[in-house]
Amino acid sequence: MWNRITSAPVRPQCVARERRAPRCALILLFAIFWTVVLISDRAEANDIEAKLSYCQDCHGQQGQGYRGFYPIPRLAGQQVEYLRNQLQAFIERRRTNNVMFNVAHTLTPAIIGALTERFHDFNPKPIGGAPRHLAAAGKRIFEDGVPEANIAACAACHGPDATGRGQFPRLAGQLNTYVIKELTNWTSERGQVPTKPDTSFIMQPVAHSLNRAQIEAVAAYVSTLR
């Protein structure tokens, strides 16, 4: 074989190297690409675990919530769609909580998806602690509503077992003190951007119609459910 420019003979091994060069470059590019992908996936997985651990510091290792001076809600078993909606509500200031705003606005959609799925899969026992003597009255309100006050049954939206569905949250096992706080302060914590109405408007008339005793009864009942 001869070189077309110099008319000098070209060694066969040189020709082979020249033919292999493009293939080697392509293999190298593929190797670099998949290395970057694997590193990115590992970094994202580590980031998800770090964010999960951060959430667990307040909401508990199994998302069971925390009973204290300021009740922190149970997230375990919560509906994924509801959790996503609430994180977005914190980001858009439709729901007021400075701590949760600072947490939520740093999360990517991928991390939000992973975190909500993880908490949905947790299934610890309810913390309990609610006054048991109120549960029977709460059960009646949950299942039948308060017809004389035109208050619909909670089960109509939250399901007969209070496990929720889609955008309607799970109430089963929720801390009674947290349920009381939310129903009592509904209009000062939810639906804070009138130009961006959300599902919180559905609960507003119910929260306004229930008196303190009824709120405490319903909260006591749902906190006992598994």
Tell me if residue 168 falls in helix, strand or coil: strand
* CATH superfamily name and code, 60-224: Cytochrome c-like domain (1.10.760.10)
Answer whether 217's CB lies under 8 Å from 141's CB.
Answer: yes
The pTM (predicted TM-score) of the whole model is 0.81
pLDDT score for 204? 92
**55-113, pLDDT tens digit by residue?**
999 999 999 999 988 999 999 999 999 999 999 999 999 999 999 999 999 999 999 99
Tokens of 123: 């299934």
Span between the terminal Cα atoms of the chain, in Å: 82
For residue 222, give the amino acid letter: V
Beta carbons within 8 Å of 215's beta carbon, 6+ residues apart: 179, 180, 183, 184
**139-177, pLDDT tens digit by residue?**
999 999 999 999 999 999 999 999 999 999 999 999 999
Tell me if residue 129 falls in helix, strand or coil: coil
pLDDT for residue 200 is more than 70: yes
Give the integer Cα–Cα distance in Å for 53 and 61.
8
Q: What region, left, alpha or beta, does residue 153 occupy, with left being phi > 0 and alpha being psi -120 to 50 degrees?
A: beta
Range scoring the smallest mean pLDDT among 8-12, 72-76, 80-84, 179-183 = 8-12
Question: Domain extents for the chain?
Answer: 60-224
